[in-house]
Amino acid sequence: MAPPTAMIAAAPTIGGLTIILFSEHRFVFITTASFLLALVWKGISTYLGAAPIVRCLELHEPNVIITSRVADAALFLGPMMLVELKVYELGWNWDDLEQLAQGTLAGHLLECGGQLTGGFFMHPGDKHRDISFQCLLNLPLPYAEISYQGEICVAKVDGSGGVLNFGTCAQQLLYEITDPSAYITPDMLCWLF
């Protein structure tokens, strides 16, 4: 028997945003969710946050969720949240702003995988950012341990290639953030400094 799956699709409409959850050949319309509209070349692209992921977990308890345009950090933040008194992982609520910010930043660190473990850190001649090509051949994906209080510890498998240090974390933390004093996500606004 196949594991339960669910899909989240989003479409901007004249009245706002319509979120559609599909599960087991049924669908449910949800019209309230956190979202960010990004204007892209005479069009609108909708980035959803963690809310529809949380709602999908709440309604269907799937093993797999397939999403449309969801902010990368939301893929990590959603499963950390509290859903209908079931702790999917950390049991955070939407008003736990410190924890949500930490979860969002953990998601941002992990979203590009190998970049955190040195994939963008090879700069020959720079003594602080010079990783050998051989070290990058076995580049691992990182993982994070996140406490209920929001403390984050990122790591990689022992003996794997790449490097995980303050420099790689700082570079990934600032990656794709226009303004570190106002990191905008569909779920919240984070201040990194």
Domain residue ranges of the chain, discontinuous segments joined by +? 1-70, 94-193
Q: Any alpha helices (H) in the chain, and if so which ranges?
A: 51-60, 72-77, 97-110, 133-136, 166-174
Per-residue pLDDT of 48-99, as tens digits, reads 888 888 888 888 878 888 887 888 899 889 888 865 445 457 878 888 888 8
193 vs 166, more confident: 166
The yes-or-no verdict on residue 35 having pLDDT over 80 is no
How would residue 134 be classed by pLDDT, with cut points 50, 70 and 90? confident
| Distance separating alpha carbons of residues 79 and 81, to the nearest angstrom | 6
